[in-house]
Chains A and B, each alone.
Chain A
């Protein structure tokens, strides 16, 4: 079954450093997403991406964050100048379309720890 692949599975970084989280969505999917889950809390929407541009973003997704689809397969989330509170599980997801019953497939997540 097709899957969304995220790398790395764990990343430890020092406060103030930049990190890039990588995702390979399902190949025929058109919509790509990043979500965040702080430990033990709910999953929060960060950003959606369609047709090579951001289609929606939440209040969390400020200038510290950026997304890119540098080639036909990868979808990346860059976090600049990381803070302790950026420590969380980051999930990439993709969906085939925006019609009602298209599901979202999530990757296994990247656990980011900022020290």
Chain B
């Protein structure tokens, strides 16, 4: 079974609109962390936002917020007021703390922002 599932291979949004990128996860570990990374066409991996399994508040970082629904095992990334520079691949990743320090990545979602 996939540990991290990103069901949207591609998403399209217009500038200034908000967009939600879906991520569901599967773990029996009680302690885990969820990450979102952005990969522009240049290839580097840019950290966006982190949510710990025990965090009661949804994480926010500027225009990025994480809609964490623990019971549903979902950790969707919300980008408000999209910009052209947001066009990139977005990866959801998880670390299971009992398993070790490795990150497990989803297959990613390509976001295209148009003017």
Contacts and interface: CB of A to CB of B under 8 A. Distances in A.
A48 B108 CA distance: 22
Most chain A CB atoms below 10 A, which of B37, B45, B93? B45
Interface stretch (B15-23, B62-70, B98-106): B98-106
**A interface secondary structure, majority:** strand
Interface residues of B, number: 25
A45 B93 CA distance: 11
A109 B47 CA distance: 14
Contacts of A109: 43-45
B70 to A, nearest CB: 15
Interface in B21-70: 31, 33, 35, 37, 42-47, 50, 52, 54
A104 B103 CA distance: 9
Contacts of B43: 89, 108-109, 111
Do most interface residues of chain B lie in helix, strand or loop, or is the interface mixed? loop
Contacts of A13: none
Interface string A18-52: 00000000000001010100000111110010100
Contact of A41 (B46, B47, B104, B107): B107
Given A100-B52, A101-B33, A48 B100 contact: yes
A55 B105 CA distance: 19
A8 interface: no
Interface string A81-115: 00000000101010100101101111111010000
A56 interface: yes
Given A101-B52, A106-B44, A106-B45, A56 B102 contact: yes
B12 interface: no
A100 B47 contact: no
Interface in B65-111: 91, 93, 97, 100-108
Given A100-B31, A101-B33, A104-B47, A42 B91 contact: yes
Interface of A: 31, 33, 35, 41-45, 48, 50, 55-56, 58, 89, 91, 93, 95, 98, 100-101, 103-109, 111
